[in-house]
Amino acid sequence: MSDLALSSRKPAATLNGYRIVQSISVFVIALVVISPLFMLFIASLKDDRFQILADMGSFRAFWVDNPTFNNFREVGNFAGELAFGRYLGNSLLILGSTVSLGLVINSMAGFILAWGSLPGRALILSVIIALYVIPQESIIMPLLIIVSRAGLSDTFTAQILPFVASPLYTFLFYQFFAQLPKELYEAASIDGASIFRTWWSIFMPLSLPALATVSILMGIETWNQYLWPILITQTDYARPISVAIATFFGQDSIFWDRAMAASVLMMIPILVFYLAFQRWFISSFVGSAVKG
Amino acid sequence: MASVSIDNVAKFYGSHQVIHGIDIDIADGEFVTLVGPSGCGKSTLLRMIAGLEEISDGDIRIGDRVVNDVPPKERDIAMVFQNYALYPHMTVAQNMGFALKLKGESRAAIDARVKEAAAILALDPYLDRLPKQLSGGQRQRVAMGRAIVRSPQVFLFDEPLSNLDAKLRVQMRAEIKDLHQRLGTTTVYVTHDQIEAMTMADRIVVMKGGVVEQVGRPLELYDRPANLFVATFIGSPAMNLVKGAAGNGGFVTEGGVVLPLPAGAAAGAVTYGIRPEHLTLDDAGFRAEVVVIEPTGAETQVLARCGGQTLVAVLRERVELNPGDSIGLKPNLAAVHLFGEDGRRL
């Protein structure tokens, strides 16, 4: 075999070695992420709440001898103390309202920041970015006082309105809109479109990747809200599922079996929501809008 | 249709002035090309006519109306952009009909106007396609279709052919010219390509550094350039310019070669200009050494050196020449251009 042939095989071997390390790394990371979810699902199929507790910390946490859906049935039918359907409905209502209003408000703000003739635009943008670093928890007490004084305690409005406008999502939209060709905006203004019409008819349909990204991030954030709803809701009227699951953790006893089943049920809608939008993450057909 | 009047228009970006008091009058139905190198302010001026840039000083009139503070949509203009700026999520028909839809026209009226424009531009088979499913030339035609369905008073074109390949550019050039002849709409066309300007325009405005260097009909600019910039910018290959001084016996170049001057030539000329096609092979002419020969079939370009200066001659006849050959070149005295110290034509 010639030297040339030998030397040409060497990089392939290195590449294979690299691929093996890469595959193992991906596998380990996937295992770390998936195993708690798998454990949760397995635990939800166990009938005995004390057994669940005993299995934790051993490999038995990943195995169920006699799988049963009793926990799910109990959670679903638990109409007295825990009206699961009601909480699920509340969460879905809050999710739908927050995300749809959030898409409108944040995209409008991002659009005006990107293309509007707004005095002090750079300053406003800097303030918006600066606002992002303020943790939600630090403003939660003043917010609680404002919402209570406004008479919005224990309402859906109190759980939707404060989270509709977000510096992060406004900035995401701003960045997306700003990278679209300026000529699209100009062509629309020459065609006679108002700034609202340009936003709605031209820029929004081109923003599916940004809309999907914001929907997913905002959806997950809204669905997982815990501290704010626990402070603002006093009754079942507007209480979301995340807070409801906490009721399984009583002072005297913890219903691990039902808590696990409820957690699995809580994950399903947000998983469906994610799957519905994630394909738009990748796709973008803006590239072909301009140039030949 | 309407005339466009640009009256002492200036443009500042902060303290930086990019347009310096320009005056141009464009007649109703005229095709005017703004041409110049990058950064000369031609696109800025076009965008000021469109209402996409504010006017810092002076007035722009479309028809009898001063439009300085009129938003683009109320100026009754249509613009074709360099990158087409088609709405990518709309079909060809929707792109073309969008402006009419915004005006509140009926669906039937929009369909009729779109079909009419599509027929003019041979776009009928593509009305249901998205822009991404079209070629560059087809997209450019859609952009023009979007402009013509509105029957505007003025068409504005901002380097519309720059993204097309050479062959398509020639084809589209003819189509735009034909469209103008059929519709007769006042047109302002920006390009950096002097060939486009020469072939399409009724009048050309040559710009440099935010100033108008010369305005005139294409052949006027070619035959009587007002200054050295226009002389070199218009025409390809560019005019030969030779430095020297005019004397009694002729024009003496810096290399000591004596070039013949036309009778009654103005004194004080420091630059002698002659277009390549106005040099002919003649043993009685001044001597030059052949450097490169470029036969193109229809003509032959000869690059020759004379007194330290390189000259280009375009010969209509086929000649047998080799690098290093000594040739005689004779300028057509009727086509000699003389420029003074300030670069202006004498």
The DSSP line for B195-223 is HHHHHH-SEEEEEETTEEEEEE-HHHHHH
C-beta atoms of B88 and A186 within 8 A: no
Dihedral (Cα; B319, B322, B328, B330), 10-degree rounding: 50
pLDDT in tens, A197-210: 999 999 999 998 89
Q: Whole domain around residue A30: which residue ranges? A: 3-68
Residues A117 and A210 in one domain: yes
Q: Across the interface, do B132 and A288 touch by the CB < 8 Å criterion?
A: yes
DSSP H or E segment with residue B273 = strand B271-274
* B129, B272: one domain: no
Measure the CA–CA gap between B54 and B66, rounded to whole angstroms: 13
> Looking at chain A, which residue has its C-alpha nearest residue B81?
A183
Per the structure, the complete domain to which residue B118 belongs is given by 4-232
- Residue B239 carries which DSSP code? P
CB hemisphere CA count around B328 (13 angstroms): 7
Compute the residue count for chain A.
Answer: 292
Among residues B75, B86, B94, B82, which one has the least CA distance to residue B4? B75
| pLDDT for A80 | 53
Same domain, B127 and B110: yes
ipTM: 0.86
Of B235, B255, B238, B244, residue with least CA distance to B312: B238
Whether B76 and B31 map to the same domain: the answer is: yes
* pLDDT tens, position by position, A108-130: 999 999 998 888 888 999 998 88
**Tokens 């070669």, residue?**
B257
Per-residue pLDDT, A12: 58
- DSSP for residue A45: T
Q: What is the pLDDT of residues A47-83, one digit of tens each?
A: 888 888 888 888 888 888 888 888 888 877 664 555 7
Write down the pTM of the prediction.
Answer: 0.81
Last residue of a domain, one of A68, A95, A117: A68
Contact B115, B92 (CB under 8 A): no
- Give the contacts of A63 (CB within 8 A, at least 6 positions apart): A42
- B183 with B299, same domain? no
Poorest-confidence range of A2-6, A18-22, B63-67, B145-149? A2-6
The radius of gyration of chain A's CA atoms, rounded to the nearest angstrom, is 25
pLDDT band, residue A277 (cuts 50/70/90): confident
> What dihedral angle (degrees, nearest 10) is formed by the CA atoms of A251, A254, A255, A261?
110
Task: Return the SS3 of A191.
Answer: helix
Q: Which residues of B touch A292 (CB under 8 A)?
A: 84, 135-137, 139-140, 163-164
Tell me what pLDDT residue B4 has.
96
Does A94 lie in the same domain as A63?
no
Please say whether the beta carbons of A227 and A245 come within 8 A: no
Per cent of chain A over pLDDT 70 is 88
* Interface-testing mutation among B62, B69, B82, B86, with chain A (most A C-beta atoms within 10 A): B86
Q: How far apart are CA A177 and CA A172, in angstroms?
A: 9
CB contact under 8 A, A291 and B83: yes
Look at chain A and report how many structural domains it folds into: 2
Residue B194 burial by Cβ neighbours in a 10 Å radius (0-12, 13-18, 19+): buried
Whichever domain contains B296, its CATH number is 2.40.50.140
What is the reported pLDDT for A117? 83
Q: What is the pLDDT of residue A284?
A: 40
Helices A84-115, A121-132: inter-axial angle, 10-degree rounding: 150
* Domain co-membership, A179 together with A255: yes
Q: Give the pLDDT of residue B42.
A: 95
pLDDT in tens, A150-168: 999 999 999 999 999 999 9
CB contact under 8 A, B83 and A183: yes
- Residue B322 domain-assigned (yes or no): yes
User: Does residue A162 have a cis bond before it (omega within 30 degrees)?
Assistant: no
Pairing label, strands B271-274, B240-246: antiparallel
Question: Running along chain B, 346 residues long, what does each successive block of 10 average in pLDDT?
Answer: 93 94 96 95 96 95 95 94 94 96 95 93 94 92 92 94 87 90 94 93 96 96 95 93 86 88 82 94 91 92 91 91 92 93 91
Question: Given a cut of 60, is residue A96 above it in pLDDT?
Answer: yes
Paired tokens of B165: 């390949």
Q: Which of B83, B90, B101 to mutate to test the interface with A (most CBs of A within 10 A)?
A: B83
Contact B147, B80 (CB under 8 A): yes
Q: Which residues pair with B306 in a beta bridge?
A: B309
Q: Is the domain of A233 the same as that of A155?
A: yes
Here the CATH number for the domain that contains residue B182 is 3.40.50.300
